[in-house]
Structure 1
Amino acid sequence: AVCYPFFTRDEQGEFTISPDDIHYGERLHAVLDEYGVAIVTDILDDNGDGEGDASSSRSAFEGHFAADWISAIDDRRGVAYRREEYQKGLERFRASGHHIADAPSSLVSSLIGTKGRLSGRGLPHGKFAWKSRLHTRVREVFAILHGTELLATGLDNPFFSPLVDGEVQSENREWLHVDQNTNTGLEWKCYQGVLYVWGADEESSTTVLWPKSHRDEVYGRIVRDKYAKHRGENSWGQLVELSKLLGEDGCDLHRRAVQGARRVRIPPGSLLLWDSRTVHQGWQSGPRLAMPICWEPRARRDDDALNRKLWLCAAGLPSSHSSTEGRVHGMSAFKKRPKDLEGEERHVPLKATIVPWCVRPDMEMQWMELQDDLWSRGKNAKENADMFGGGDERGKVERILRAEVLDCL
């Protein structure tokens, strides 16, 4: 286990940018080139001040998230569940305007996956996830970085850790890594982002980064390591953990990374960005509501990746961060078709999946009719996604998706 210090205010100020900066675009490029990390503030508006676009307020995004949660509850089930206690908690939740700080703890524990990621029940394709991806200011950032508006998005998991006392951690497991391994053949620049609806401070879950590690004096040494080269022999070998590097040089890099990495304080409503070559990891401790987002030029994405992403939209499952690769996320790749969850002593009764927001409202019945076929080819999510796309099956999925979603896959 390890404890990473925070960036000082001055250090963090070097890579924090406001969209109101007169030289915003130039500075965004310059900061990411220099540091491999940037914080773009004021993507989402303050709550309830009567100014700005209400649909871009943090409270609106909290509402999207709460609505996704409510739609995952299966009120038909739960005979064994402590229904009276749950109903009282749910009433408080609704009375508070669905503020997720007031969500019943049993609902929280039922939905949260490992590391505070929501990979199941269709939540990677809920309204919160898609409104975050499609947000105009978010897309604008990636359009500036890539020099084109013809972009496609990744389909990653939402992040959520609740406002629960006593969960602040002084140490976390060390798993510093890079998400791009040029040994696989993918050498173009890729930028990852996380839209932080809630801010991150000393008592929050956040992101850990080693600034300037995307440069050749660090990253170049990482990908020249034997372990990275071995990983790069497979298309899925993008992630390289520094603790697994070989030889004295690998040990030195790992030691320097642990010493140089810092936790980030993030203003609420900001977009954290980093170069996929930058060394980083997540830090799990306390509350977080955030959405990982990665837009890349659409021209990079091939037809096989598009087929997988179409399958993921219809199945309600996440991809890894990369829009170009469209790989089924490792948290879901080897899982079988989800089932309804019966209510038990500690768990709320849940539907197998919500209706993904990316499905057109007038096509929900057709979406339901597709589910058996989506899971009919392989024994897990990865196999079914890899085999999807033949005959008319692609067209069937394309017809049920919202136009704005289909346009960005």
Structure 2
Amino acid sequence: MPDATPQWQRDLDDKGYAVVKGVLSPERARYYTEQALRWASEFGFDEKDRSTWTGDNLPVNINGLVNDYGVSHERWVWEARLEPSVIEPFGQLWRTDDLLVSFDAINFSLPIGPHARRDIEPSAPWPHIDQQPDPVDRPPLQHELTQGLLAMTSSGPQDGGLVVLRGSHKLLPRFFEETGGVKADQSWGGLNYYTFTDEDVKWFSRQPGVEEVKVETEPGDLILWDSRTVHWNRAPTAEQIRVVVYVCYAPRSMASEGVLAARRRCWDEKLATTHWPAPFLVIPREEYGPPKRGEEVDPMDRIRPKEEPVVTERLLKLVGF
């Protein structure tokens, strides 16, 4: 019989990443883009006034990634997480509808260059995986999570976005065996983050089938990638403002009662998490503190969102109630 597995799922297994096309309509993606622009305007940013395209008029961020100011629980961010067509691929992957969702970040990036944002230079790549390579409580380097980002804007070659080393997810055991194992100064341990040096990337690049790929999308596309896939974010340098909502779902069965209780606390207090819904929970504010401008806490800092999400039965289930 013909293989009924969707092409995107075969790509995810084979390449370590996939693009699920048209998860949202262009109109719906534009709605979320407009919500993000409106949200950013409270920091002084004006899409039509390029004199405001500076860090002073933007939320504190890391290469466009924002998980402070309650943005992870803004109404429009939760609306995106609750879109049935966004949840569906994760249900297919995990073969269950009983899912939890991460309280993850957004990405709001302005193009960098003389024509756009001039106060910074494009960041250098920071290749990494979002998975601990040497856990002591479970087998190492197994598939543990599929990450996702929902692209609200187009992402061409120069528009910024996700870059992956295609096929790298299958090579990690051999990589660590041949390069001397896990390096303590590159590992974040239980925070599930491991960085790779330029020499490490060269090792992957020498392997047959591995290729650096800038993943291109249209508004409303969903990118999925294996958390073992080496990846990083490329800054935009063309004209397109980048708007992304990071989305990640995992089965409720992966969460202990302690993790479920911590998730409910994050919901009550409107705290962000990293991309892990379960079986781990990392709360950036408790690990790294509030956003700062220089040495001072940003006066715009807040924990709760500007617009609280609409509470529904589906939302509460995704939280962990």
TM-score between both structures, scaled by the size of structure 2: 0.78
| Contact residue 187 and residue 194 of structure 2 kept, 8 A | no
**Percent of aligned pairs sharing the same letter:** 19
User: Which ranges in structure 2 are unaligned for 5 or more consecutive residues?
Assistant: none
- Letter of the structure 2 residue corresponding to residue 176 of structure 1: P
| Contact residue 358 and residue 402 of structure 1 kept, 8 A | no
Kindly indicate which of the two structures has a greater share of residues assigned to strand: 2
Question: Is 1:309–2:281 an aligned residue pair?
Answer: no
CA distance in 2, matches of 1:244, 1:332: 31
Question: Is 1:220–2:191 an aligned residue pair?
Answer: no
CA distance in 1, matches of 2:212, 2:126: 11
2:131 is aligned, of 164, 174, 180, to 180
CA RMSD in angstroms comes to 3.7
In the TM superposition, what are the counterparts of 1:93-172 in structure 2 within 5 Å?
Answer: 105=53, 109-162=57-110, 165-167=115-117, 172=123
CA distance in 2, matches of 1:273, 1:143: 13
CA distance in 2, matches of 1:315, 1:356: 14
Partner of 2:9, secondary structure, is: helix
User: Following TM superposition, by how much is the alpha carbon of 1:177 offset from its aligned partner in structure 2, in angstroms?
Assistant: 1.5
In the TM superposition, what are the counterparts of 1:223-234 in structure 2 within 5 Å?
Answer: 223-224=176-177, 226-228=180-182
Tell which deviates more after alignment, 119-128 or 171-180. 171-180
CA distance in 2, matches of 1:189, 1:134: 23
Call closer, same or farther: CA 1:198–1:125 in 2, change over 3 Å: same
Partner of 2:288, secondary structure, is: coil
- Letter of the structure 1 residue corresponding to residue 242 of structure 2: R
Call closer, same or farther: CA 1:351–1:234 in 2, change over 3 Å: closer
User: How many pairs align?
Assistant: 299
2:224 is aligned, of 273, 293, 299, to 273
Aligned match of 1:205: 160
Call closer, same or farther: CA 1:313–1:223 in 2, change over 3 Å: farther
Partner of 2:192, secondary structure, is: coil
CA distance in 2, matches of 1:352, 1:26: 42
| Contact residue 101 and residue 163 of structure 1 kept, 8 A | no
| Contact residue 209 and residue 278 of structure 1 kept, 8 A | yes
In the TM superposition, what are the counterparts of 1:362-401 in structure 2 within 5 Å?
Answer: none
CA distance in 2, matches of 1:356, 1:171: 30
CA distance in 2, matches of 1:63, 1:233: 38
Aligned match of 2:277: 323
User: Following TM superposition, by how much is the alpha carbon of 1:204 offset from its aligned partner in structure 2, in angstroms?
Assistant: 1.4
User: Following TM superposition, by how much is the alpha carbon of 1:109 offset from its aligned partner in structure 2, in angstroms?
Assistant: 2.4
| Contact residue 305 and residue 327 of structure 1 kept, 8 A | no
1:62 is aligned, of 11, 30, 33, to 33
What is the CA deviation profile of residues 364-397 of structure 1, one whole-angstrom value per residue up to 9, with x for unaligned ones?
A: xxxxxxxxxxxxxxxxxxxxxxxxxxxxxxxxxx
- Letter of the structure 2 residue corresponding to residue 128 of structure 1: W
- RCO (CA 8 Å, sep 6+): is it higher in 1 or 2? 2
Partner of 1:407, secondary structure, is: helix
User: Following TM superposition, by how much is the alpha carbon of 1:234 offset from its aligned partner in structure 2, in angstroms?
Assistant: 7.7
CA distance in 1, matches of 2:173, 2:228: 9
User: Following TM superposition, by how much is the alpha carbon of 1:62 offset from its aligned partner in structure 2, in angstroms?
Assistant: 2.1
Call closer, same or farther: CA 1:171–1:158 in 2, change over 3 Å: closer
Tell which deviates more after alignment, 299-308 or 273-282. 299-308
Call closer, same or farther: CA 1:251–1:283 in 2, change over 3 Å: closer
What is the CA deviation profile of residues 162-203 of structure 1, one whole-angstrom value per residue up to 9, with x for unaligned ones?
A: 367344999641321122235212644411111110011133
2:17 is aligned, of 37, 41, 59, to 37
| Contact residue 35 and residue 211 of structure 1 kept, 8 A | yes
What is the CA deviation profile of residues 12-71 of structure 1, one whole-angstrom value per residue up to 9, with x for unaligned ones?
A: xxxxxxxxxx98743232221111111111112123xxxxxxxxx12221233245446x
CA distance in 2, matches of 1:196, 1:24: 26
What is the CA deviation profile of residues 76-96 of structure 1, one whole-angstrom value per residue up to 9, with x for unaligned ones?
A: xxxxxxxxxx7xx8xxx6xxx
Aligned match of 1:77: none
Call closer, same or farther: CA 1:232–1:242 in 2, change over 3 Å: closer
- Letter of the structure 2 residue corresponding to residue 405 of structure 1: L
- Letter of the structure 2 residue corresponding to residue 261 of structure 1: E
2:302 is aligned, of 352, 356, 375, to 352
User: Following TM superposition, by how much is the alpha carbon of 1:350 offset from its aligned partner in structure 2, in angstroms?
Assistant: 3.6
CA distance in 1, matches of 2:55, 2:184: 42
Question: Is 1:195–2:155 an aligned residue pair?
Answer: no
Call closer, same or farther: CA 1:226–1:302 in 2, change over 3 Å: farther
What is the CA deviation profile of residues 126-169 of structure 1, one whole-angstrom value per residue up to 9, with x for unaligned ones?
A: 12321221111110011111111111111111000136734499
User: Following TM superposition, by how much is the alpha carbon of 1:255 offset from its aligned partner in structure 2, in angstroms?
Assistant: 5.5
